[in-house]
Amino acid sequence: MTSEGGRRTDRRRRSPGPTVGRVEGDRATAESAPDLDGVLIVRKPVGPTSHDVVALVRRLATTRRVGHGGTLDPFASGVLPIFLGHATRIVEYHMGDRKAYRATVCFGASSATDDLEGELTPVPGPPVTRSAVGSALDGFRGEIVQVPPAYSAVKVAGRRAYALARAGKAPEIAPRTVTIHRLEMTDWDETDAERPIAIVEVECSAGTYVRALARDLGVALGSAAYLGALERTASGPFRIESAVALDDLRPGGREAIAGHLLPVDTGLDALAVVEIDVAGLEAIRRGQRVADPAGPGGGTGDEDVPALVRVCELGGGLVAIGRRAGGWVAPVKVLVEAPTASGAARSGGHRGRRAHPGA
């Protein structure tokens, strides 16, 4: 899932720039240090790709398993959740999170890519007014249908739409239904009366194309529009106020990242917690189900309805994502290794610290 539903990020060859330059680490340290575990909320700058950011964090943290929770295009900035170590196992539980953006919508011209990086074509006609935009926004709140941009990662007959667009073909992309939970205009600039600019706050469902929203808003006003800038201000529970800039991480490297890591299960408050004892932990490590401490029904009143839960050590942190049903809890994603002959188990990072509600 992406900031805009998968817009291709390598349409042009890009340099990651000084902020995401290569970091030379101590190979011996990288090989000997255990992986960090947890969630890092990065404030991505304009320029680098999301992959660039992941690569930088991987080198700084000397951690092999690193991934992100939703692509931001190079021209976009803002919240990019980075998952390290065991946290990479639960990224899928965040992919449906709501997103929030601050979008700069430029009127009076269309773009081949629906953003400032495409070829712009001025559209004749009377200039768009602030009051007209405010009224038009009403039609884009709630559940709407939109067609993803031609330059997007949506597959059409087995090929990416952007590949077809680059080849000069117009991809026939099926419309999709998305939900706009909040849509407000917070600023208006008509310094250039022919091409006014609106700043719009958007809160939407996963998979929403903000570029398509800008494009369709222009069409609804009898004009055209494209996305001039985009900042993601929230991705699920991860907010811009808690995000750390890459330049603040570089000097301290692994230690700086460890200091900003959140527990692995941060943002999974919707999943109930099931605490298990030592015997239960050993069973979960082996992929075996355990008796539900809450008994049949698991405290829900319906023992036949499976429900995902967070399985945690007594007084400890997350060890697995489980499925509760019929008086049992079966592991779905196990975050701890099976016991070795010596009984040793890997530990490190923030797996052993449970996220507080609302973190």
Question: Could you list the active site residues?
Answer: 73
Beta-carbon contacts of residue 241 (< 8 Å; ≥ 6 apart): none
Q: Which DSSP symbol is given to 175?
A: P
* DSSP for 248-317, written as a single string: HHTTTHHHHHHHHPBPTTTT-TTSEEEEE-HHHHHHHHTT--EE-TT-TTTTTT-TTS-EEEEEEETTS-
Q: Which residues share a beta bridge with 321? A: 310, 333
DSSP, collapsed to helix, strand or coil, labels residue 72 as: coil
175 pairs with which residues across the strands? none
Q: How far, CA to CA in Å, does 14 sit from each of 129, 151, 195? A: 36, 17, 28
Q: Give the total residue count for the chain.
A: 359
State in Å, rounded, how far the first CA of the chain is from the last one: 23
Angstrom distances, CA of residue 275 to CA of 91, 138, 295: 22, 46, 13
The residue written with tokens 């309805």 in the block is: 305
The runs of H, that is alpha helices, within the chain are 27-32, 50-61, 130-136, 161-166, 210-220, 246-249, 253-260, 278-285
